[in-house]
Structure 1
Amino acid sequence: MNDLNDPQRMNIRGDDGGGGSRWSYALVVPMLCLAVFRSIWTRETEQEKSRLREDFERRTRDTRSELDLRYRSLVTESGSSLARLELKHEKLKQRLSGYREAFAAQSQLLASERRQLQSQREELQGERRALESLRRVGPLHDAVLAQEELALAGARASLRALESALEERQAVYCSLLVPRQRRHVLERDMLRRARHEVALGRMAVHDGLLDIFANDGHCAHVTNEDSRRNGKLMWVYVRHWHTLLELHKYQQVQQRLHAEDPLERPSA
């Protein structure tokens, strides 16, 4: 290395008998040391970089694996939660639908009961008005009813006599000892009475007797001693005729209550 300020002492000269190699070695050694240090440092640096890279890749793999497991766990848990929520939602929908149907049915039932109560209320009001009307005409109604009951006394007596004759006729019919002529006499007498008595004629007793004589052949057991056990059709007709008498009585009462003078009974 040359020093321009002191060329005599400091510059390397080639004719000094090889003394300039001293400077060359002085420069080579630091450069070699520097090269060795750089080589060692580079190798250590590369090893450190490789170690750091491997550690980073390992941590990255571990983190990725952990995140993947966590992701899969979250997906599974989310799927399970979603399934539970969907099931719960479906149950709630079904329950709500059941509540709606029950509410609709209850509403219809309440509406029906309301209509029924309204109808019953109207009926009760009608009955109340009828009772008030009957209360006003009660004494008059009783008087007219008593008159009609008295007027039907003869018809009731005739019907009771006819009932006794029918009972006797059926007993003769079922008897093995009484002659048949006795039954014929009883039948002719009942038919004659039914033709000539007005009350019996009004109830068509004559036609009923003919039906009984032709079709009522029922007899109780031969050991029977109660004559009322004989016959079936005849008792149906007897109850029917008694009912017609009651119906006629109340029809007459109703008709007279609407007349100008209810207590004045019209001639039969």
Structure 2
Amino acid sequence: MNNLNDPQDWNIMPERQGDGGGDSSKWNYALLVPMLGLAAFRWIWSKQFQKEIEDVKVKMQKDLDLERQECCNIKLECKALKYKIFRFHEALKKGKEQEQGALNALNEVQKLLMKRQKAFCSPFVYRSWREDEERELMAYTAKHPLAHLKMENDLIDIFNNDRSCAEYLNADPQKNGGLMWLYLRYWRQQLTLQTHQRAEAILGIQTKK
């Protein structure tokens, strides 16, 4: 009599005996199918997950390489900037030394012009002073460090047109002269401007006009 709870070939009982290994093979096959499916799923999932990991690693490496390159570029830019600043300060220092030498020479020119103007305001003295001192003053300003100012025409203008004298019996030589003081101020401004222009030229900076 058939077992209604166990239709033929529906349930696979590992302890059933009968036709040899038939039932056992069905049992093994029934277990193998889901196991293979699970293994395939796990393999596919593992491969997909591994690919995502590799993609993230590649992106992180690219970002890291980019960051390193940016840091390297920043370091190079900082190094170049420091070098430019160093060159600028060296040029400025040298320019200041040249400016100071020119200012010292210009102070000597001022003394000579004051002496000349005092003589001019004393007619009897001026005639004897004028023959040699004016030529010597022209020659002095044509030498370094005042040569670049090209003062010859300015001095001729002073000699020919500066007739300003202080009051009679004036004891202050700085009261004599008018045009000469304007030129002296102009020459000093030129020296300062040229000092900065030389420093800026080294860095390739054009002075704004």
TM-score by length of 1: 0.42
Letter of the structure 2 residue corresponding to residue 160 of structure 1: N
State the AA in 1 paired with 2:159. Answer: F
Which residue of structure 1 aligns with residue 57 of structure 2?
none
1:218 aligned counterpart, secondary structure:
coil
Residue 59 of structure 1 is matched in structure 2 by none
Equivalences for 1:184-195 in 2 at 5 Å?
184-195=131-142
C-alpha distance in structure 1 between counterparts of 2:139 and 2:88, whole Å: 36
CA distance in 2, matches of 1:136, 1:154: 27
Amino acid in the other structure paired with 2:112: A
Q: Distance in 2 between matches of 1:192 and 1:175?
A: 24
Instruction: From 219, 237, 246, give the equivalent of 2:192.
Output: 246
| Partner in structure 2 of residue 231 of structure 1 | 177
Residue 199 of structure 1, CA deviation: 3.7
Q: How far 1:135 sits from its partner (Å)?
A: 9.9
CA RMSD in angstroms, aligned pairs only: 2.5
Q: CA deviation at 1:152?
A: 2.8
Change (3 A) 1:232 1:135: farther
Deviation, structure 1 residue 253: 0.8
Which ranges in structure 1 are unaligned for 5 or more consecutive residues?
Answer: 1-133, 260-268
1:181 Cα deviation (Å)? 1.3
Q: Please state how far the C-alpha of 1:200 moved relative to its aligned partner.
A: 2.6
Equivalence for 1:146: 93
The offset of 1:256, in angstroms, is 1.3
Task: Look up the SS of the partner of 1:152 in the other structure.
Answer: helix
Find the partner of 1:168 among 115, 121, 124.
115
Q: Distance in 1 between matches of 2:147 and 2:186?
A: 14
Structure 1 Cα separation of the partners of residues 175 and 92 of structure 2: 34
For the 8 Å contact 2:118–2:173, the answer to whether it is kept is yes
- 1:221 maps to which of 158, 167, 181: 167
TM-score norm. by structure 2 comes to 0.53
Q: Give the Cα–Cα distance (whole angstroms) in 1 for the partners of residues 90 and 147 of structure 2.
A: 27
Matching residue's letter, 2:202: R
SS of corresponding position for 1:207: helix
Is 2:160 the counterpart of 1:208? no
| Partner Cα distance (2:82, 2:114) in 1 | 43
2:125, 2:160 → 1: CA distance?
19
Higher RCO structure (Cα 8 Å, ≥6 apart): 2
Would you say the 8 A contact 2:165–2:175 is kept in 1? yes
Q: Deviations along 1:55-112, whole A, 9 cap, x unmatched?
A: xxxxxxxxxxxxxxxxxxxxxxxxxxxxxxxxxxxxxxxxxxxxxxxxxxxxxxxxxx
Instruction: Give the drift of 1:202.
Output: 1.8
Task: Give distance in 2, aligned partners of 1:206 and 1:143.
Answer: 31
Per the TM alignment, residue 154 of structure 1 is displaced from its structure 2 partner at its CA by: 2.6
Deviation at 1:229, TM superposition (A): 0.8
Count of equivalent residues? 125
DSSP-derived class of the 2:166 partner: coil
Counterparts of 1:1-268 in structure 2, within 5 Å, are 141-195=88-142, 197-258=143-204
Say which one has the larger Rg.
Answer: 1
- Matched to 2:135, the amino acid is R
